Structure 1
Amino acid sequence: MAESDGQEKTEQPTEQRLRQAREKGQIPRSKELGTAAVLLSGALGLMMVGDGLGYAMSQVFTRNFSIDRAALFDPQTMLPALSDSLLGLMWPLLGLFAIVLVAALVGNSLLGGVNFSSQAMMPKLDKMSPAKGLKRMFGVQAMVELLKSVAKVLFIATLSISVLWGQFDNILRLSNETLPMAMVDAIELVLRMGLLLCMALLPIVAIDVPFQIWNHTRQLKMTLQEIKDEYKNSEGKPEVKGRIRRLQQEMANRRMMGEVPEADVVVVNPTHFSVALRYDKFSPGAAPRVVAKGQDEIALKIREIAREYEVPVISSPALTRAIYFSTKLDGEIPEGLFVAVAQVLAYVFQLNNWRKGQGNKPIPLKEDLPIPDEFKV
């Protein structure tokens, strides 16, 4: 849509766009970072296991060059000799391979993290299109990769010549050393030069990693219309959202109405408001709670259910409005209304006892209940 409208992709990608790209396997990756990690770990690994590997190789050479003439013509000795040679080299090589393997996994997951995408593994017919293949070959991305490769070759070649020139005297000095020491010094020299050349990749990595992050973000940029469409799709159409809110409100009202039969009293403003209260007298320190409240039609329904289940309905307009506007559903009444509500509950409990024949008829409740001025509405 963005292309057809001619809009420019100027907006940063949203979290949803980034998540969808990751699910498709489209994440920033730096080949240079992985290559540098493998080469540097390989050079350092050779330095770490070099002594053990050199000793194992010398043992293999000594063993194989000291086989007597009779054993050389015996086919039965070939496999044992090969097995001994491989076992002698196995542990140093396994250590080196383990170091390189861990470095390859870490180096390739440092940028973009570990990501498994089934969509990225699916075959895509558009990748088989010759026209799109030529476009990729001669596109901007291909030109950037070509320039990077040329610059990388020139940089490493220049550094290699500098390293060789700097070590030229040491290389010539090897010819004056005896054979065992010459081999040791030659190996150390090669490893040191190899490590320097591998470290030459670090400046390339320092340039490539920010570029890959920038290029990944650039490819995922969005137009204003795409952001609006995404928001509309994620949030839903207004009429659908309104329908959902109405259904949620109806469900909440049904749950609330189910609490009315368990209330101790319903206080009402005869025309507009109703509030159902419940007090757990067996819970120390508990305050009366609002289990249902409403106005107009909902208020009438609360009163209707209360009368059906013989829950006392007390008319107290000022107290009803005070509770309605100061207390949330399923919340405890504020401390300032404790005295007024306590008088209502005491009247209700005395009324219930009188109806059961367990006491005298209570004195009618006063109309002017003690309600602080801050709660008067």
Structure 2
Amino acid sequence: MSDDKPEQSEKTEDPSQKRLEDAHKKGDVVKSQEVTTWFMILGSALIFAFVAPMTSAQIMTSLGDYLGRADLYEVGGPGFNQFVYGATISLLSALLIPMILLALCGIAGNMVQHRMVFSAENLKPKFSKVSPLAGAKRLFSSEALVNFGKGLFKLVVFSTIMVLVVWPDRDRLSTIMTADPVVTLELFQEIGIKIFIATLIAITIVALLDYIYMRHKWWQRQMMTVKEVRDEYKQMEGDPHVKGRIRQIRMERSRKRMMAAVPDATVVVTNPTHFAVALKYDKDMAAPEVLAKGVDAVALRIRGLARDHDIPIVENPPLARALYAGAEVGETIPAEHFKAVAQIIGYVMRLKNRSSWRSGN
């Protein structure tokens, strides 16, 4: 067993998000060649069914024009070079759209399996690529056996498809040499479309099974040992950027919970512009509890929430500063502030009772 490559039996932990991201950066992604082949065959079928007739007509027209004036070009003369150049340009321009469609299908075949990746990792020279021992291991590996099975299966299936599709039209194909060229092209297109459809149905099954297999192999390759999980966690915990981000997330979540509790407050004690402390008290509590506190922008938000929910706001700068410095959110206020806070809460209670009495009358 190698020190830097643990045995698969030791990899018992699912890969972390960092492990998956690192694999993607190195170009180690899920990739089934059969899926790409499926898209290429689909693109070829579309080209054969819809683009090929127009492309063939364009090539025949262009070459017909040149061949019709072939006697005007002297072999070896400057005019002959112009003839070859023009015929080549006409041929390439007619094939441009099919080539672009096939390229797009090849890109789509990769994009459906994984997001875009740019990596030079696979371009780096590796001894294992030229090592006879490593080559022998790859040759007799389970993956090579699977690839051999896939190739054999496709050969059998596609041969069967060719026989089943072509055999019913064997009589028509026997007269192809004497048939009109237009009829011949139509026959070829009809049989070709049948072959493409049957092939797509077969390759769909192959591509689906191969993708599942390749994803399973890739996932196994990314799995981690317990030691790797611990080492990665220690590395991330030691990263000051990660620690700072974690601390920031915790503070944001704590602030959200704190702000969500402000509507339950009994009173908000403030220094008019800098401090705000939201307190809650009812007869079942031993002492008032601090629901939220803040300075400057946070204090402004606390006061705004208090106004939105009709919570009394009492200005008492010394008490607000003392509560902010000496009491934590979720805890009861220090005993030395009981009297001052009791007076404020009593005042708030009297205001509520007076408002209730007035509304009742």
TM-score by length of 1: 0.63
Distance 1:5 1:192, change over 3 A: closer
Amino acid at match of 1:338: I
Specify the alignment match of 1:165 in structure 2. 167
Amino acid at match of 1:279: P
Amino acid at match of 1:189: E
Following the alignment from structure 1 to structure 2, what is the Cα–Cα distance between the partners of residues 32 and 150? 14
Amino acid at match of 1:329: G
Q: How many residues in Structure 1 have an aligned counterpart in Structure 2? A: 285
Distance 1:68 1:101, change over 3 A: closer
How far did 1:68 drift? 6.2
1:201 to 200, 203, 221: 203
Specify the alignment match of 1:297 in structure 2. none
Matched, 1:329 2:304: no
Specify the alignment match of 1:370 in structure 2. 343
Following the alignment from structure 1 to structure 2, what is the Cα–Cα distance between the partners of residues 54 and 176? 21
Whether the aligned pair in 1 keeps the contact of 2:271 and 2:316 (CA below 8 Å) is no
Following the alignment from structure 1 to structure 2, what is the Cα–Cα distance between the partners of residues 106 and 6? 32
Query: Alpha-carbon deviations, 1:244-300, whole Å to 9, x = none?
Result: 99xxxxxxxxxxxxxxxxxxxxxxxxxxxxxx96314xxxxxxx6249xxxxxxxxx
Specify the alignment match of 1:278 in structure 2. 271
Whether the aligned pair in 1 keeps the contact of 2:40 and 2:106 (CA below 8 Å) is yes
Specify the alignment match of 2:323 in structure 1. none
How far did 1:338 drift? 3.4
Following the alignment from structure 1 to structure 2, what is the Cα–Cα distance between the partners of residues 279 and 64? 92
Listed as ranges, the matches of 1:236-251 within 5 Å are 236=238
Amino acid at match of 1:230: E
Distance 1:5 1:111, change over 3 A: closer
Following the alignment from structure 1 to structure 2, what is the Cα–Cα distance between the partners of residues 148 and 125? 28
Following the alignment from structure 1 to structure 2, what is the Cα–Cα distance between the partners of residues 102 and 343? 71
How far did 1:165 drift? 1.4
Amino acid at match of 1:325: V
How far did 1:190 drift? 4.8
Amino acid at match of 1:81: F
Listed as ranges, the matches of 1:140-179 within 5 Å are 140-172=142-174, 174=176, 177=179, 179=180
Query: Alpha-carbon deviations, 1:180-238, whole Å to 9, x = none?
Result: 3333324323532442354132221121111111111111112233223222221239x
Matched, 1:187 2:188: yes
Listed as ranges, the matches of 1:120-131 within 5 Å are 120-131=122-133
Distance 1:325 1:2, change over 3 A: farther
Amino acid at match of 2:184: M
Distance 1:372 1:147, change over 3 A: same
How far did 1:371 drift? 2.9
Specify the alignment match of 2:82 in structure 1. 80
Aligned Cα root-mean-square deviation (Å)? 3.9
Listed as ranges, the matches of 1:248-259 within 5 Å are none
Whether the aligned pair in 2 keeps the contact of 1:21 and 1:27 (CA below 8 Å) is yes
Query: Alpha-carbon deviations, 1:45-76, whole Å to 9, x = none?
Result: 13222232222333345335434656445723
Following the alignment from structure 1 to structure 2, what is the Cα–Cα distance between the partners of residues 367 and 16? 53
Specify the alignment match of 2:221 in structure 1. 219
Specify the alignment match of 2:22 in structure 1. 20
Following the alignment from structure 2 to structure 1, what is the Cα–Cα distance between the partners of residues 225 and 14? 9
Amino acid at match of 1:328: K
Q: For residue 53 of structure 1, give the secondary structure of its aligned residue in structure 2.
A: helix
Following the alignment from structure 1 to structure 2, what is the Cα–Cα distance between the partners of residues 6 and 206? 25
Structure 2 gaps of 5+ residues are 248-268, 278-286, 321-338, 349-361
How far did 1:128 drift? 2.8
Query: Alpha-carbon deviations, 1:318-345, whole Å to 9, x = none?
Result: xxx96x8344232347787734728979
Q: For residue 115 of structure 2, give the secondary structure of its aligned residue in structure 1.
A: coil
Whether the aligned pair in 2 keeps the contact of 1:43 and 1:194 (CA below 8 Å) is no
Between the two proteins, what is the percent identity of the paired residues?
A: 22
Q: For residue 118 of structure 2, give the secondary structure of its aligned residue in structure 1.
A: coil
Distance 1:65 1:120, change over 3 A: closer
Specify the alignment match of 1:338 in structure 2. 313
How far did 1:175 drift? 5.5
2:275 to 262, 275, 289: 289
Following the alignment from structure 2 to structure 1, what is the Cα–Cα distance between the partners of residues 45 and 221? 36
Whether the aligned pair in 2 keeps the contact of 1:60 and 1:85 (CA below 8 Å) is yes
Following the alignment from structure 2 to structure 1, what is the Cα–Cα distance between the partners of residues 111 and 318? 70
How far did 1:173 drift? 5.3
Query: Alpha-carbon deviations, 1:357-376, whole Å to 9, x = none?
Result: xxxxxxxxx97862327x9x
Following the alignment from structure 1 to structure 2, what is the Cα–Cα distance between the partners of residues 327 and 181? 85
Q: For residue 290 of structure 2, give the secondary structure of its aligned residue in structure 1.
A: helix
How far did 1:143 drift? 1.4
